[in-house]
Amino acid sequence: MKNIGSTVGLYPTPDTVVGTVQDGRINWMNVAHVGVWGVDCMMLSIGKPHYTARALHKGAHLSVNLVDEDMMVRADYVGIVSGEMTDKSDVFPVFHGQLDDAPLIENAPVAMECVIEEIHETKTHFNCIVRPVNTYAREDVLSENGKIDFEKIHPILFEMQQTRFLRTGDAVGRCWDIGKKLIDQ
């Protein structure tokens, strides 16, 4: 093993597009610094200088839309240009669920209306703990039992070290099962 310094080695992470309503219009931002915060919440890490950061406050609504390969070019675009100088409202087809100020991407494999529960601030980022209020999934990405099936989605992953997008692969084992092989040894 070689020491490569102080670096976050947990990438890749799922690529998402966050939707907000700012200054009376829909705004999209690519957010790939995401994670699970317990079983009922997610964490989104958004740089302070971003236009979207101005919409962040406890109780605010936003959407989190999972990105697949068909959305990759547009998702990257909304992460490159600022909503302060560019109207990004028409980049994706939109639908609204129950929260009018949390625009959802119509063709996203999974789209979640969320409320911001907490914000943890670092020197450079706002780390928002968000709770999904409603989750919408395209029917073609659901399993027979109505659950999201990531083998059907093949979400795009963001990999920071090489600054690239990756495609997900196939299932390689069953959680809470495969490890039982070691129990009887």
Supply the pLDDT for residue 171.
Answer: 87
Supply the pLDDT for residue 41.
Answer: 98
Mean pLDDT of 123-148: 97
Alpha helices (H) in the chain, listed in sequence order: 72-80, 150-153
Query: 34: which 2 tokens?
Result: 């995401």
Q: Which residue has the higher pLDDT, 174 or 128?
A: 128
pLDDT at 24 over 90: yes
From the list 131, 175, 156, the residue with the least C-alpha distance to 30 is 156
Compute the distance between CA of residue 161 and CA of residue 164 in angstroms, rounded to an integer: 8
The pLDDT tens digits for 60-72 are: 999 999 999 999 9
Neighbours of 56 (CB within 10 A): 21
Query: Cβ(21)–Cβ(29) under 8 Å?
Result: no
Compute the distance between CA of residue 146 and CA of residue 7 in angstroms, rounded to an integer: 38
Confidence of residue 34 (pLDDT cuts 50, 70, 90): very high
pLDDT at 185 over 90: no
Query: Cβ(30)–Cβ(48) under 8 Å?
Result: no
Compute the distance between CA of residue 17 and CA of residue 79 in angstroms, rounded to an integer: 8
Supply the pLDDT for residue 46.
Answer: 97
Supply the pLDDT for residue 149.
Answer: 95
Confidence of residue 99 (pLDDT cuts 50, 70, 90): very high
Amino acid at position 97, single letter: G
pLDDT at 43 over 90: yes
Domains of the chain: 13-182 (2.30.110.10)
Compute the distance between CA of residue 92 and CA of residue 103 in angstroms, rounded to an integer: 10
Radius of gyration of the chain (CA): 17
